[in-house]
Chains A and B, each alone.
Chain A
């Protein structure tokens, strides 16, 4: 049984202008200890997927259809109380804003201990704090910082504390949404290396969300490319990164400047992302696609490109 199985998930937001179809028909599976990366630009739906997995949708968001099976159980069928139990103890999240979401007037060590105590009421506070010390060792925060407050932590250290909190209840799945975007390159590399090591050591499934395809390729065995709420390409990182099939994936790869190799022209993608309140009926990338043709006014289908590698395109 897969650790996580998402089946035809559609999510939308009620807005003043209408119902915004943020995620449309997304399906994927994740096995224990496996890593899957979601890459795409603003508004593609990747963060919405992460929030839905955690059950942290904002009040105006709702799942229109689909199932989220975690260890065989549909999270969407659970009560809020049941979801609260899975949150942090089974599925934890590391996200960009987390650095600033910590309680500023509570010591960091205490906040993480609290996360442990909430899910393990039989544990004593002393024991919980001891576990936090070990977590700090794991993520590379000096133990003497346990009694510090968030404002006394640097950006990198705060993010490490967030990772410690995510690991506190030994979850089976971690969702990391742009965990290093606000950090300097060197700190980012250290944090990402740590996440990789911890994932291997504890066999944690990881869903990694980022706009930066090279980070995702570095961190994850499989990559899912998102555009305008839909998954447009999916496959092992070697396939997607080195032999992209979908025109959007190709375009996305060509918009990142590189350090090595030929210095090719950066080719921006003309036009803008489609309106998701009234999305186009055919291919959502059609109006910006260099290879667009009449067939693209039909809804595209999945085309299998190789083992585990597929693209949502009318004529790839």
Chain B
């Protein structure tokens, strides 16, 4: 699959820290490091998967990229231009290029606006076209996400749509300005499997027919395998592994990735799936902040190295990157 090869998005050494204020009864406020020195590049035309569990920082990463929040360290560049610190006209221009689809289809649409108003809103904000041409564009957008005939949907309100239909409206709205880059943050985690399949196929169509580059944020390795060209595995704010999706899943190198694969329900495929056994049943009590984030739960970890330093992503061959001292032996 031709990804055009050039990076459209560059994330360089990005960190995001949330400071919690000291409460009345809690002691001093403790900082939460949501992202810790993340670096990666996404190539034009690829679907890149960011895989992690809750608390991994994956949603924060998405929000930083579309400038919904500011980084604390590092920089994010899209098409070579910094994304951080954008304001006013430049921010508005950026919004035409980069859009986001959120997890909860029941929260992301304004219940008091018709579908026509919701999907045409970006057009009116950016003063594209006029009322009648906008309606036509909305019709096209609705058709492209499978809401046909579009006239059946224009004047409906969200409460009359199912979760899957709402999510398709959200995609139509995200796509109406022909963005180059779309972030989908767990777009199907609240939908049934057969509906999710429809959404996945729409995302694939966006890439195949319109060359839209995508960042797909998910907790599901299976979904990432289906959709993505390359994936990165995030754990407690740090990148653990990054590479071709099939490579990372069939030949995982990081103990955390292996633990994720081990945790998936096995029936029917137990013959195929190896049991890696990298997860400790009891967490180690002596973990230090300066050590590897996964040290407390890693059965392979060695005190002498893994508890004293955080490993960085290194190429283990074939552009398959791992942040682990042991895989580098």
Binding site for B on A (CB under 8 A): 41-42, 155, 184-186, 188-189, 192, 211-212, 214-215, 217-218, 237, 241-242, 251-252, 254-261, 263, 266-269, 272
Contact = CB atoms under 8 A, between A and B. Distances in A.
Contacts, number: 92
25 contacts: A41-B192, A41-B193, A155-B54, A184-B53, A184-B54, A185-B53, A185-B264, A186-B53, A189-B263, A189-B265, A214-B267, A217-B268, A218-B265, A241-B267, A252-B194, A254-B197, A255-B194, A255-B196, A257-B223, A257-B225, A259-B225, A259-B261, A259-B264, A266-B197, A268-B198
Contacts of B219: 184-185
7 tightest Cβ-Cβ pairs between the two chains A and B: A189-B263, A257-B226, A184-B53, A268-B197, A217-B267, A266-B197, A41-B192
B160 to A, nearest CB: 12
Given A186-B53, A186-B279, A258-B222, A268 B268 contact: no
B221 interface: yes
A259 B53 CA distance: 17
Contacts of A188: 263
A258 B223 CA distance: 8
Interface string B260-279: 11111111110011000001
A218 B273 contact: no
Nearest to A237: B267
A267 B201 CA distance: 9
A41 B53 CA distance: 24
Nearest to B266: A218
A194 to B, nearest CB: 11
A185 B260 contact: yes
Q: Which of A184, A214, A257 has the most CB of B within 10 A?
A: A257
A215 B265 contact: yes
B312 interface: no
A42 B191 CA distance: 9
A255 B195 CA distance: 8
Given A214-B267, A257-B225, A251 B194 contact: yes
Interface of B: 53-54, 162, 192-198, 200-201, 219-223, 225-226, 246, 249, 259-269, 272-273, 279
Contacts of B220: 257
B265 A214 contact: yes
Q: Which of A189, A267, A268 has the most CB of B within 10 A?
A: A268
A258 B259 CA distance: 17
A74 to B, nearest CB: 33
B226 A260 contact: no
Contacts of A260: 269, 272-273
B146 to A, nearest CB: 9
A258 B192 contact: no
Q: Which of B201, B267, B272 has the most CB of A within 10 A?
A: B267
Contact of B194 (A41, A185, A218, A237): A41
Contacts of B279: 186
A197 to B, nearest CB: 13
A211 B263 contact: no
A121 B192 CA distance: 44
Contacts of A41: 192-195
A143 to B, nearest CB: 14
A260 to B, nearest CB: 4
A235 to B, nearest CB: 14
A267 B259 contact: no
Contacts of B223: 257
B290 to A, nearest CB: 24
B274 to A, nearest CB: 10
A119 to B, nearest CB: 32
A198 B58 CA distance: 34
Contacts of A215: 265
Contact of B200 (A42, A241, A266, A272): A266
Contacts of B260: 185-186
A261 B53 CA distance: 24
A267 B262 CA distance: 26
A255 B225 contact: no
Contacts of A42: 192
Contacts of A237: 267
Nearest to A241: B268
Nearest to B54: A184
B193 A272 contact: no
Given A155-B54, A189-B264, A261-B272, 20 more contacts: A41-B192, A41-B195, A185-B219, A192-B265, A212-B193, A212-B265, A214-B267, A215-B265, A217-B268, A241-B267, A241-B268, A256-B193, A257-B220, A257-B222, A258-B225, A259-B222, A259-B225, A259-B273, A266-B201, A266-B226
Nearest to B249: A259
A41 B195 CA distance: 10
A259 B269 contact: yes
Contacts of B272: 260-261
Q: Which of B192, B196, B219, B279 has the most CB of A within 10 A?
A: B192
Contacts of B194: 41, 251-252, 255, 268-269
B197 A267 contact: yes
Nearest to A270: B198
Given A214-B268, A257-B220, A272 B261 contact: no
A268 B195 contact: yes
Contacts of A241: 267-268
B169 to A, nearest CB: 15
Contacts of B193: 41, 211-212, 252, 255-256
B197 A255 contact: yes
B190 to A, nearest CB: 10
B225 A256 contact: no
Contacts of B198: 268
Contacts of A251: 194
B198 to A, nearest CB: 4
